[in-house]
Amino acid sequence: MNYLRNLFLKKQPVVMQSIAEAMQRKDDFTFKNYFLLYACPLCGAPPALSGYGQSILWIALKCINDKEAISFCDSCEQHFRIPAAIFAEGILCELTEVSQIPGDQLYNYVKAKYVETNTQLNLLHTGWYDFLIEANANGPVDVMAMTWNPKDECPLCGRRPYRPIGFSYACPNCMNEINIAQEDIDPELGVRVICNHCMKTHYVPPTVWCPKCHRSLFHYYSILRRIAKANGVNFEQLRLKKNEAG
Ligand SMILES: [Zn+2]
Ligand SMILES: [Zn+2]
Ligand SMILES: [Zn+2]
């Protein structure tokens, strides 16, 4: 199913065009403090719906340990590789040395040297976005087929075991904020939610659970998309604008 969907996405000329556009615009991509903003290398969608890309520290630590980071696109719901090659020469060695100093020095180091001086681009190779595109030329990472140790974070939702989460969204009927905890959502049946503002009910489907680990919820915007579909409303209607400022 996923495979077919990916093939379908790859065949869409409009998608390829937007990647080409994204590549032309790559000089516009910037950092927002620690967060690297860029278009998805698979579908070309602009930076994550939340307005953030990934923390450069998170990417660097993954690349130091695993030679690559695997990230998720909120728009096409596919996983892609961020190769260690995106970093400028010597940067990963520099960051590795700092990360070995006792105490949590890496954050402060990057803050003082790169974030406060607004020179975060020095962390990256000048051809970093081309490397990102190249690393994903064969399509998305098939995370569902990946083996993993359940003691670690799930490769699909990125969550660690025994960390129940909750989330909030706008009521599909009245836009009032709804808060819900994962333990309130039956993994097989979902749950009917009564909004205490408009007193109408809506449905949170069981597909909001991560299909890989079944122990935590899916990514936030994927959850909202599934609730929107189950209630026949537009995804945008469920977004809480206050969470997305900045
Ligand atoms: Zn995408
Ligand atoms: Zn998971
Ligand atoms: Zn309501």
pLDDT in tens, 195-229: 999 999 999 999 999 999 999 999 999 999 999 99
Question: How far is the centre of ligand 1, averaged over its atoms, from the C-alpha of 45 (Å)?
Answer: 6
- Name the residue among 54, 105, 50 with its Cα closest to residue 82: 54
pLDDT of residue 10: 44
Rg (CA), the chain: 20
Question: How far is the centre of ligand 1, averaged over its atoms, from the C-alpha of 194 (Å)?
Answer: 33
Q: Which protein residues have their CB within 5 A of the ion that is ligand 1?
A: 40, 42-43, 45, 73, 75-76
User: CA distances (Å), 182 to each of 73, 120, 162, 168, 173, in order?
Assistant: 22, 37, 12, 11, 21
Question: How far is the centre of ligand 2, averaged over its atoms, from the C-alpha of 45 (Å)?
Answer: 23
Q: How far is CA 152 from the centre of its chain?
A: 18
pLDDT of residue 197: 96
* Closest ligand to the CA of 136: 1
pLDDT of residue 161: 84
Segment among 57-71, 81-95, 165-179, 231-245 with least mean pLDDT: 231-245
Question: How far is the centre of ligand 1, averaged over its atoms, from the C-alpha of 80 (Å)?
Answer: 8
Question: How far is the centre of ligand 1, averaged over its atoms, from the C-alpha of 123 (Å)?
Answer: 24
| % of the chain with per-residue pLDDT over 70 | 84
pLDDT for 47 beyond 50: yes
Do 131 and 83 touch, CB atoms closer than 8 A?
yes
Segment among 44-53, 117-126, 130-139, 183-192 with least mean pLDDT: 44-53
| Residue at 137: amino acid letter | A
Give residue 13's pLDDT band: very low, low, confident or very high (50, 70, 90). Answer: very low
Question: How far is the centre of ligand 2, averaged over its atoms, from the C-alpha of 219 (Å)?
Answer: 9
| % of the chain with per-residue pLDDT over 90 | 66
- Name the residue among 204, 206, 201 with its Cα closest to residue 189: 206
pLDDT for 181 beyond 70: yes
Question: How far is the centre of ligand 3, averaged over its atoms, from the C-alpha of 169 (Å)?
Answer: 11
Helices 2-11, 13-24: axis angle to 10 degrees equals 70
pLDDT for 84 beyond 80: yes
- Name the residue among 160, 157, 198, 159 with its Cα closest to residue 176: 198
Average pLDDT for residues 35-44, to the nearest whole number?
89
The vertex-190 CA angle with 188 and 194, nearest 5°, equals 160
The vertex-49 CA angle with 169 and 144, nearest 5°, equals 90
- Name the residue among 135, 227, 110 with its Cα closest to residue 178: 227
pLDDT of residue 18: 52
Give residue 33's pLDDT band: very low, low, confident or very high (50, 70, 90). Answer: confident
pLDDT of residue 53: 74
Question: How far is the centre of ligand 1, averaged over its atoms, from the C-alpha of 244 (Å)?
Answer: 19
Question: How far is the centre of ligand 3, averaged over its atoms, from the C-alpha of 196 (Å)?
Answer: 7
pLDDT of residue 160: 87
Indicate whether this model's pTM tops 0.85. no
pLDDT for 29 beyond 70: no
